[in-house]
Amino acid sequence: MPVTKSILHPAHGVDRYTLSNSAGTLTVNILNYGGIVQHILVPDRDGVVRDVTLGFDTYQEYTEKTSAYFGGLIGRFANRIAFGKFTLDGTTYNLATNNGPNHLHGGLSGFDKKIWTVTVLSQDPPSIRLTHISPDGDEGYPGTLTTHVTYTVTTAAELSIEYVATTSDKATIVNLTNHAYFNLAGVTKNPRILDHQVEITPAVLGYLELDDGLCPTGTFIPTGTIETMDFSGAHVGRTFGARIAEVQGKGYDHPYVIRQDAETDTRGQPLVEAVRVRSPETGITLKFATTEPAFQLYTGNFIPEEYTAKKETQDGVAIGPWAGFCLESSRNPDAPNKEAWVGQVVLRVGKTYGSKSVFGFGVRD
């Protein structure tokens, strides 16, 4: 199927790109506003097509309801930076503190709120590249950063996301991800993901301890140390909801670690399958693989109670906390302020930041 383009909001230049594989097993809608993944359409065990990602029907909703970052590209720095400041090459940079005392997801106007330039790379497989140039000083960050993000839909029902960034004039920090929320029941069958069955594979070494502001303390906790955080070994298939009431911060919002170090461009690393999730109601499965050293598991703990799902594909049902989960490939949160991790996120002139993640969909009874 060819890549198609439709106009979502002509006055603001917002377009929607549809990427469908030839097998008819995966269709993804991407907006040039924020690089947002608006729809992910896959068949369930009965052949009924379900939209398994959270979002909105209209551009206006995306601009007015911003706190959940539904489906957006996150940058310049995904996740939290403690107290909204970091020091690089002897200069201290102050950023917006938009999450309590901390900086979150690039600030007040991050990459999820920008209009990206779109280039169609291929019709088969359907693939598009989004480009954004962030000027020196944007949201307080140094350096002119050029970012390219490539979305590709494969015949194997996979959504591949590849990130590349360079800085042309000053060293800076970078940590890019996508903030898609998944509900493998398609929301209409169940507006919560608490019954989803989860496996974190043996490739994942453990997770990072968090302080009260949900920033890493710097302490690594190996898999198997704390049972509530464990979805591996004897706990494979445990649901999100089984122990969520015992987890810090109203639910899972934790960085899990695949390896302890990372080069600036991780695309030379093998894709590591880190997480598998299944909805018992639809049989739809998700496999998540990444070249990155870590990922954030987030169970939508702070989705506002007043939000509703898309009318177009999810009947506009009421949603709220735990309506979806995120698997955000990343470097470690607050890495700029941790000596052991800062090398993961510093990008210098002449170097390239890169990573790749793949979300694979299927069905299992």
Model confidence over 13-66: pLDDT tens digits? Answer: 999 999 999 999 999 999 999 999 999 999 999 999 999 999 999 999 999 999
In which band, very low, low, confident or very high, does the pLDDT at 2 lie, cut at 50, 70 and 90?
confident
Q: What is the mean pLDDT of residues 321-330?
A: 98
Q: What is the mean pLDDT of residues 62-90?
A: 97
Model confidence over 273-300: pLDDT tens digits? Answer: 999 999 999 999 999 999 999 999 999 9
180 is in an annotated binding site: yes
pTM: predicted TM-score of the whole model, two decimal places: 0.98
CA distances for 321 relative to 163, 224, 249, 324, angstroms: 29, 27, 12, 8
Catalytic machinery residues: 179, 328
d(CA 278, CA 195): 9
Q: Using alpha carbons only, what angle is made at residue 72 by residues 69 and 75, rounded to the nearest 5 degrees?
A: 95
Please say if the pLDDT value at position 1 is more than 90. no
Model confidence over 212-223: pLDDT tens digits? Answer: 999 999 999 999
Q: What is the mean pLDDT of residues 135-164?
A: 98
Residue 237 is classified by DSSP as T
Domain that holds residue 82: 3-363
253 is in an annotated binding site: yes
CATH number at residue 205: 2.70.98.10
15 is in an annotated binding site: no
Domains: count for the chain: 1
79 is in an annotated binding site: yes
**Mean pLDDT of the residues in the chain:** 97
Q: Which residues contact 176 (CB under 8 A, 6 or more apart)?
A: 73, 74, 75, 76, 78, 111, 147, 149, 163, 165, 353, 355
Q: Which residues contact 227 (CB under 8 A, 6 or more apart)?
A: 235, 243
In which band, very low, low, confident or very high, does the pLDDT at 228 lie, cut at 50, 70 and 90?
very high
Q: Are the CB atoms for 1 and 9 separated by under 8 Å?
A: no
**pLDDT above 90 as % of the chain:** 98
Q: What is the mean pLDDT of residues 98-109?
A: 98
Please say if the pLDDT value at position 249 is more than 90. no
- Of the candidates 326, 331, 329, 335, the residue with the CA atom closest to the CA atom of residue 356: 329
CA quadruple 127, 297, 116, 135: dihedral positive or negative?
A: negative
> Concatenated DSSP letters for 79-125?
SEEGGGEEEETTEEEE----BTTBEETTSTT-GGGSBPEEEEEEETT
pLDDT at position 257 is: 98
